[in-house]
A = this chain, B = another copy of it.
Amino acid sequence: MAETNALDALIQALRRLPGVGVKSAQRMAFHLLQHDRPGAQLLSRALQDAAGHVHHCERCHTFTEDVICSTCLDPRRDHSQLCVVETPADQSALERTNAYKGLYFVLMGKLSPLDGVGPKDIGLKKLFDRASDGLVREVILATNFTAEGEATAHVIAEGLKARGLTPTRLARGVPVGSELEYVDLGTIAHALVDRR
């Protein structure tokens, strides 16, 4: 597809999306130009809008178009609880449970020394200041149960303890609806240790 500069430029630009190689980028460009030009225009404007208007909430770090996001400003939420998550998608998963009514701190990442992501990149100082502002009484660590998520939770827990705060962590255990036979052994072991 070396015929047009505009097409080449589009394929190159699509390759900057995570998980998109040259074949996918070609297929996407072909699809948009052959079958969905309105989609191309729509995506172009959406990118422009989002890149121009979306920034981080001053309190919780999540994406917002305001200075402080609507969750942080919501007076019906419990401002004494602070739940620490890795991404807005994780926050959104917690929200869908309807089981949590406190506030959030969104790290927008996780500690990952190999990728050069340190404490500063995920706003740990801001989180520690926030957690010790006198209003927050419980910090719930809801980073993912992956190696990097666990390491991040550990570092945050240590930092909070140094400031006299003891965070809680989401319980590990057997997923609801699953049969023990098909659950991995590590999960069963944790479910045993964390038994109620």
Residue in B closest to A60 when the chains form the complex, CB atoms: B3
A89 partner, pick from B30, B54, B62, B65, beta carbons under 8 A: B30
The answer to whether the Cβ of A39 comes within 8 Å of any Cβ in the partner chain is: yes
The reply to whether B48 and A41 contact each other, CB–CB distance below 8 Å, is: yes
User: A33-B50, A54-B33 known; A6 and B65 CB under 8 Å?
Assistant: yes
The answer to whether the Cβ of A69 comes within 8 Å of any Cβ in the partner chain is: yes
Chain A facing B: main interface SS: helix
The reply to whether A47 and B50 contact each other, CB–CB distance below 8 Å, is: no
Q: Which residues of B have CB within 8 Å of A26? A: 89
Task: Please tell me the number of chain A residues within 8 Å of chain B, measured between CB atoms.
Answer: 59
Residues facing B in A71-99 (CB within 8 A) are 71, 87-89, 91-92, 95
Residue in B closest to A16 when the chains form the complex, CB atoms: B39
Residue in B closest to A1 when the chains form the complex, CB atoms: B88
A13 partner, pick from B4, B42, B53, B109, beta carbons under 8 A: B42
Mask of A2-27 contacts with B, CB within 8 angstroms, 1/0: 11111101101110111100001011
| Pairs A–B under 8 Å by Cβ, sample size 5 | A3-B63, A13-B42, A19-B27, A26-B89, A44-B45
